[in-house]
Amino acid sequence: MTNMRHSLDTGPAAIRPPPGCPPIDAAADRAHFPALADGLRYLDSAATSLTPTCVIDAVRDAMLAGGSAHRGLYPLAQRATAALEGARRDVAAALGGAAEQIVFTRSATEGLNLVAEGWARPRLTAGAAIVITRAAHHSNLLPWRRICRAAGAELRIAECDARGVLDLESLTPLLDRRVVAVALTHVSNVTGAIAPLDAIAALRRRHAPQAALIVDGAQALPHIAVHAPGSRADFYVFSGHKVCGPQGIGAVWAPVERWAEAEPLLVGGGAVLDVGDGHIVWSEGPARFEAGTANMPGAVGLAAGLAFLDRHRDTARSVALTAALRTRLARVPGVRLLGDPPGAVGAVSFVFDGLHPHDVGAVLAERGVAVRVGHHCARPLLAHFDVRSAIRASIGLHTSAADLDALVDGLRAARELLAPPETGRGEVHR
């Protein structure tokens, strides 16, 4: 597999499939994924990636080994500590960084809350501003909205165009000396649009150089190898369950100097060196932000998932497969695709004229095809497309042309079954 590594300045044009790109069936073997053993056509990787056997084995072995990291001097605890810190080094290496730059969280959601509350909130005053985009997942919207309301600051939203691509002309006037942070979504979980981070970073540098750049990379890492230290991001946030790792684990990458400026989101055991009646001495390094007993098996699983992903990820194939998915869906009568971003990767969302997404999803589920239906934790972006609920198909390492064919066949069956009878056989109610 071709595993192209990109810094965060990747734009859509940079990852279009080159001539002679691998065929879309050149995927990681389905046999790696026990969940597919019953023939499931899984097209919901944007929600949660399937877990390969090697990751399951890594988590199981870590749990069998037992022990609590950083909680004892006996061999069992020391092995747990070594496993946790080894996983931290491996996760950092997967992003081209150093271990002390990685803080483990339980999810990307917690990571974004950590950055919002721990770094941005202490710097936010009345009259200051945070900039987000219309494409933000709720996890990259709600923390910023909350801290802005608490501080009397302004939440500014950069718009998307009809294709679902960030409108740089709407972003530029939002950037000024009052902006504390610019929080972006690297890849949209609705349209697969890739943010033009190079252009955004240049605008930030020109108009708001004091602002931190925070990137939600949850949907990007499954398809794009990111080199975080070579980027212009101040914080890069991601989750384990979207990169072939287990649920309940995530991480934030940031330069050490940024972590030195931040306050912990959670406080408790392990986060402090000393506590007295009137003083607190915080722990050094990542431990300051990882209060409580560490999820050592989760960290081991995250490292194993990223290693598996690094062996099998192919950006050109992901782009080609996403384009093939769009093409197939566009040929189904009654389907309306949401947006048309160039070089989209990972996800395609759509509505079916006259049919409720939940009804369509139920028909597909009966046929062994798994898709996501609902608002995808992205209400503002769906409202931009004038819908409240949509169907989303998203790809993983195991996705093949046969999966896309099964989806299209299922949609045609849903149309025949669910279309109102007064429209005539095979016609979609409009």
Report the catalytic residues. Answer: 377
Indicate the burial class of 52 (C-beta count within 10 angstroms; 0-12, 13-18, 19 or more).
buried
Indicate the burial class of 45 (C-beta count within 10 angstroms; 0-12, 13-18, 19 or more).
buried
Name 343's Cβ contacts closer than 8 Å, sequence gap at least 6: 11, 12, 13, 14, 15, 16, 194, 319
Local structure of 69: helix, strand or coil = coil
CB contact at 8 A, 343 and 336: no
Q: Which token pair is 386?
A: 């004038």
According to DSSP, residue 353 is labeled T
HSE-CB of 271 using CA atoms within 13 angstroms: 15
Measure the CA–CA gap between 167 and 319, rounded to whole angstroms: 22
CB contact at 8 A, 374 and 389: yes
CB contact at 8 A, 55 and 308: yes
